[in-house]
Amino acid sequence: MLGTIIFQGPQHAHPEPHRKVSPASGFGLVETMVVMCILIMLVGLALPRLNGYLDNRRLQAATTTFYNDLRFGEAEALRRNVPVYYSITTGSNWCYSLSTSTGCSCASAQACQLAQQSYASFRNVVLQSASTGSGAFVPTTSLAAPTTALFATTSGTQASVLLGLTGSVSLCAPAGALAFSEYPSC
């Protein structure tokens, strides 16, 4: 045994067992694309409902603003002890104004106006009709001409502002399939 060298190597030189390669964790491209397609479809389904909701809020804002401006006109006539005139233009480019003189148009802002509003502030809302295009709040008598203004969204939902002979103003939903549900029936 002399002269023979036996190489045994390191005592712990056992080869490491092969590690199993695991797939990468997370989402792959295919899974991400499927999720994106599903999200796009859901947004596409929800968008018309959102537009309808926004149009109804604009309808409510337009009718409430008109209601408040008519109430303001009545109060100003009593406060100033002079007639306050209103002028209404219907259609898709609608407007209305309250003024202290009869020739004050609602088409543009003028010094004679106490209040003025137009379609530009209420996208997708149309003032379809008004039973009278003009009238006055007269402090010593009742209102010169009662009116009913019919507002509608481009999708057809409708709401009315009623101005009575005595100056009372109310909001209501006309009878019909697309009446604005948040107002009482006319």
Residue 99: give its domain's CATH number: 3.55.40.10
81-117 pLDDT, tens per residue? Answer: 999 999 999 998 999 999 988 888 887 778 888 989 9
Question: 86 phi and psi, to 5 degrees?
Answer: -120, 145
**Containing domain of residue 100, as a range?**
41-172
Residue 105 within a domain = yes
Residue 76 within a domain = yes
Residue 159 within a domain = yes
158 pLDDT band, cuts 50/70/90, is very high
Residue 87 within a domain = yes
Region 165-176 average pLDDT:
86
**Cα 175 to Cα 1, 61, 158, 159, distances in angstroms:** 117, 20, 9, 10
Residue 88 within a domain = yes
Residue 104 within a domain = yes
Neighbouring C-beta atoms of residue 150, cutoff 10 Å: 18
Residue 75 within a domain = yes
Q: Is the pLDDT of residue 23 over 70?
A: no
Q: What is the pLDDT of residue 98?
A: 93
Picking from 65, 71, 68, the residue whose alpha carbon sits closest to that of residue 84 is 71
Sheet holding 95-99, edge to edge: 113-118, 95-99, 84-89, 134-137
40 pLDDT band, cuts 50/70/90, is confident
Of the two residues 66 and 43, the one the predictor is more confident about is 66
Give residue 26's region: left, alpha or beta (phi > 0; psi -120 to 50). left
Distance (Å, whole) CA 152 – CA 181: 13
Residue 100 within a domain = yes
Q: What is the pLDDT of residue 47?
A: 66
Strands 134-137 and 147-153: unpaired
Please state the pTM of the whole predicted model. 0.74
Region 57-76 average pLDDT:
93
Q: What is the mean pLDDT of the chain?
A: 82
Total structural domains within the chain: 1
